[in-house]
Amino acid sequence: MAIYMQVIWLFILAIPIACIAWTITHEEIFKEPREFCVRCSKQSGSLLKRKFFYLFTCEYCFSHYVTVAMIFFSGYKLLLADWRGYVIAGFSLVWIANIYMSFFSRIRMDIKKEKVEIAVKEEQLTNGST
């Protein structure tokens, strides 16, 4: 595959990786399993158990496993045609996916901030007019 196509694949494959990792580690639909994993990651007696359950609460950690699955299903390699291409692709995909998740997190924080500011202004208007 030509290098420009590899780069296009890199930026496109990172999108579902970021989506899956973010959804499982942050969104409401997976709240109960995530809370279970948080409890287990803090309370389990075994170091191995604590680390295993922590993987499902950290988007960075979890994105590595999603990336491995994505590489397995797509066969994507970056720069080199042998096993080293898989390794380079893996770390590159994780990096790009985490940039996407950082952007998404920042956008969500800005939206929440705006909603709070609007609510405060509405409250001030309501209290000021009565």
User: What was the pLDDT predicted at 1?
Assistant: 85
Q: From first to last of the 130 residues of the chain, give the pLDDT tens digit.
A: 899 999 999 999 999 999 999 999 999 999 999 999 999 999 999 999 999 999 999 999 999 999 999 999 999 999 999 999 999 999 999 999 999 999 999 999 999 999 999 989 988 888 876 5
Whole-number pLDDT of residue 124: 86
**Residue 8 forms part of a structural domain:** yes
Question: What residues make up the domain containing 77?
Answer: 3-104
- For residue 70, tell me if it sits in a domain: yes
Q: What is the pLDDT of residue 130?
A: 54
> What is the Cα gyration radius of the chain?
20
Q: Note whether residue 126 is domain-resident.
A: no
Backbone angles phi, psi at 79, to 5 degrees: 75, -45
Q: Is residue 116 part of a domain?
A: no
Give this prediction's pTM.
0.82
Q: Please say whether the beta carbons of 14 and 93 come within 8 A.
A: yes
Q: Which of 56, 65, 71 is nearest to 23 (CA)?
A: 56
Give the chain's count of helices (H) and strands (E): 5, 0
Predicted local confidence at residue 87, as pLDDT: 97
List the one residue out of 97, 21, 10, 80 whose CA is nearest residue 55: 21
Residue 117 lies in a domain: no
| Residue 23 CA to its chain's centroid (Å) | 7
Contact 90, 96 (CB under 8 A): no
